[in-house]
Amino acid sequence: MSRRSPAGRLVMARHGQTDYNREGRLQGQIDIALNEIGRAQAAALARAMVADPPDVIVASPLGRALDTARAVGEACDVEVTTSEVLLERGFGRWEGMTGAEMREGWPEEYADLRAHRPVHGLGVEDRPAVAARVAACCRELLDEHPGQTVMVVGHGASTTLGITALLGLPADGFLGLGGLENCHRSLLEPLAADPEGRLMRLVSHNLAPDFAGTPAGM
């Protein structure tokens, strides 16, 4: 990721592992801390970013994302700020539950979730709304820091949806973009061919740092 774009670059990363990740529980906007593996993953991401450090780091204020971003910031000597716009997708009443619990209690609504259809009556944030807010935040950051590398540290669902919107793809219909794994990152650059200057191109996706030496169980 050493080649610099004169129009700026956007690195979008997911936080490290939490106990809820390990247990298969839906986190949403619950503030869950990194576990031992997650902290080691954050350190690995930090080491990976040192070779070509970002100029700006902005994180979701939830602890798992903020602590991951701070690990990178300390390694790269970059101050970390936060934005609530980068929060994970809200999953309402389902937050903290496993897939089995959700399916048992709300089989029809769970089927809608799995099929990427709107889920009604449970406080689940719509996919297009999440995509729009994350993409808008990223565009604003790039506008505020022209020619620089902006790193955003967020969450699995919201970050993937934001990438989808930045590519100009429908958040409620396109299923071809795989989700980010813990402490993996994607690199995007502005699409020069877009006359409105809103679209980006995906240079790399779900790129892993070197996790050698991290605790077992990743």
- Read off the pLDDT of residues 60-109 as tens digits, 9 standing for 90 and up: 999 999 999 999 999 999 999 999 999 999 999 999 999 999 999 999 99
User: Looking at the predicted structure, is the pLDDT value of residue 185 above 50?
Assistant: yes
Q: Using DSSP, state whether 150 is helix, strand or coil.
A: strand
CATH, domain range 9-90+126-207: 3.40.50.1240
Q: Please pick, among 88, 95, 109, 189, the residue that the annotation labels catalytic.
A: 88
Catalytic-residue membership of 15: yes
With a CB cutoff of 8 Å and minimum separation 6, the contacts of 123 are 90, 91, 92, 93
pLDDT at 212 > cutoff 90: no
Predicted TM-score (pTM) above 0.85 = yes
Each domain of the chain, given as residue ranges in start order, spans: 9-90+126-207, 92-124
Dist. CA 166–CA 187, nearest whole Å: 12
Which residue in 204, 192, 187 sits closest to 11, CA to CA?
A: 187
Instruction: Count CA atoms within 13 Å of residue 90 on its CB side.
Output: 13
Active site residue 144: no
Q: Which residues contact 161 (CB under 8 A, 6 or more apart)?
A: 89, 127, 130, 131, 134, 171
Residue 215: band (very low, low, confident or very high) from pLDDT cuts 50, 70, 90: confident
Q: How far apart are CA 61 and CA 151, in angstroms?
A: 14
Catalytic residue, chosen from 15, 95, 155, 189, is 15
Residue 189 dihedral angles phi and psi, to the nearest 5°: -130, 150
pLDDT of residue 28: 97
Q: Going edge to edge, which strands form the sheet with 9-14?
A: 80-82, 56-59, 149-154, 9-14, 185-190, 200-207
Strand 9-14 relative to strand 149-154, pairing: parallel
C-alpha separations of 89 from 48, 60, 71, 143 in Å: 27, 11, 23, 24
Question: In sequence order, which residues have a C-beta less than 8 Å from that of residue 45 and are 6 or more positions away?
Answer: 13, 16, 68, 71, 72, 183, 185, 209
